[in-house]
Amino acid sequence: MNPGTDWQWRPVSLSGTIQPAILEKPQVGCGFGPELTLWHDCPDCALSLRQLVGLGNPDYALQFEGRDFGGEYLSVSMNLPDELLADLGPFHVLRVDGAFSATASIIVYARLNLVQGPNTAKILRQLGEPIDGQGALRLAEFDLAYADISPRAVDRAWLDLILQSPGQNTVTVHDLVMSRHPRAQF
């Protein structure tokens, strides 16, 4: 675990084999592995999602390939584990670190969703500059002191990784790690 963190997580799809390892022309809301759900607005589903194996550290990656993608967004939702929710509150900062590559320039966002009863707090962050080429390291932080959450427990949480206007592009997520950091009290 990295210094200064009290919890960290890597999605199963980036840390072990999942089945099926490829989705061709996935429908909206299609599941991929035990924790991922794919969302998009492409009318003809002109895309594929695959898990790549044996690439290094980590050994797995996720690759999105658009073929005449006619929509504006492609998103993968990742259910966050219950361990994150224990004592989660305004005294935490959640951080997402990722390694990406893309065949054409693309903007990637991370959106944290926190459910408390009937309310869902949503926090959107752009993952730095547009990704263009290999070896793009990006991060986003979510300071929960500024989130619209109450003092009661968080019931459920998920992270959306959103690719804006994927078009004809191949985007690879080589790594993605979420960590939780206690923040200074004020």
Q: Is residue 24 part of a domain?
A: yes
Residue burial 119-155, b: 16+ Cβ < 10 Å; e: rest = eebebeeebeeebeeeebebebebebeebebeeeebe
In a domain, 159, yes or no: yes
- Residue 55 confidence (pLDDT): 66
Is 14 part of a structural domain of the chain? Answer: yes
In a domain, 1, yes or no: no
**pLDDT for the residue numbered 92:** 92
Beta bridge partners of 115: 120, 156
Query: pLDDT tens digits for 91-144?
Result: 999 999 999 999 999 999 999 999 999 999 999 999 999 999 888 999 999 999
Q: What is the mean pLDDT of residues 159-178?
A: 92
The whole domain housing 154 covers 7-182
Question: Per the structure, how many domains does the chain have?
Answer: 1
Question: Does 69 fall in a domain?
Answer: yes
| DSSP letters spanning 69-106 | --SSEEEEEEEPPHHHHTT-STTEEEEEEEEEEEEEEE
Check whether 47 has a pLDDT greater than 90: no
Q: In this structure, is residue 31 part of a structural domain?
A: yes
Q: Is residue 99 part of a domain?
A: yes
- pTM (two decimals): 0.91
Q: Does a structural domain hold residue 77?
A: yes
The domain spanning residue 71 has which CATH number? Answer: 2.60.120.260
